[in-house]
Amino acid sequence: MTAIAVTIAGSDSSGGAGIQADLKTFAALGVYGASAIAALTAQNTQGVSAIHDVPADFIAAQIDAVFSDLDVDAVKIGMLSNVAAIEAVAAGLKRHAARNIVLDPVMVATSGDRLLAAEAVAALCRELLPLALVVTPNLHEAAALTDAAVASSEDEMVAQALRILAFGPRYVLMKGGHGTGAESVDLLVGEEGVVRFPAPRIATDNTHGTGCTLSSAIAAGLAKGLGLNDAVRAAKVYVTAAIAAADRLAVGHGHGPLHHFYQSWSGL
């Protein structure tokens, strides 16, 4: 059987994040990728200049088209910029009994541009978090979801993860990429307790699309039949290597993209 994953997210016109990063990740990891585009962005490595929301009924139509024909093994959800989009996605996932849902609560781009309307945060918590196998917030997103200060220790990360679990997801992966120290530590918090995933912190400005890539790599692992712990571990290895190889690309004048195809592009 062909492993299939679908990404429901926003498009990044510069190709480094969003739908484009997700599909690159699926392809790099041997998974067939499908998509439902929830928003169009005019952006590059330096920032987001415009967002065009896709109508909710058309988001629903894309979801129905994909799920009615393809046997989808995993779902990655990224940028959903308004309440109507969130509600349409939640209804579509319920309608098709979607499984292995990885929710990346995208709120702010690497450049600092806000991507999720403030009033949509409550809808995200109410409609989508209960459907997710795992939610993957970074430190700033977790603080926004819990109305708290940004966590500055692993204990605080766990405490915020437990508060997010109360919304209904089975697991929360607290990402430590925005933290400090020699290691970037992600914490998977769920029914089995806390699992720690450390990796060396890499000094580079080319981190555009890191969160999108990690969540889609987890979805790819789940689509191929890995358990969640193994899917997170494999995704962390992939993303760390893609960040380490990012400076081999020369793309844009701001926060450049990861090197999604570091394993297969010769000479780069």
Active site residues: 175, 207, 209-212
Q: What would the 3-class secondary structure string for the chain be?
A: CCCEEEEEEEEECCCCCHHHHHHHHHHHCCCEEEEEEEEEEEEECCEEEEEEECCHHHHHHHHHHHHCCCCCCEEEECCCCCHHHHHHHHHHHHHCCCCCEEECCCCECCCCCECCCCCHHHHHHHHHHHHCCEECCEHHHHHHHHCCCCCCCHHHHHHHHHHHHCCCCCEEEEECCCCCCCEEEEEEEECCEEEEEEEECCCCCCCECHHHHHHHHHHHHHHCCCCHHHHHHHHHHHHHHHHHCHHHCCCCCCCCECCCCCCCCCCC
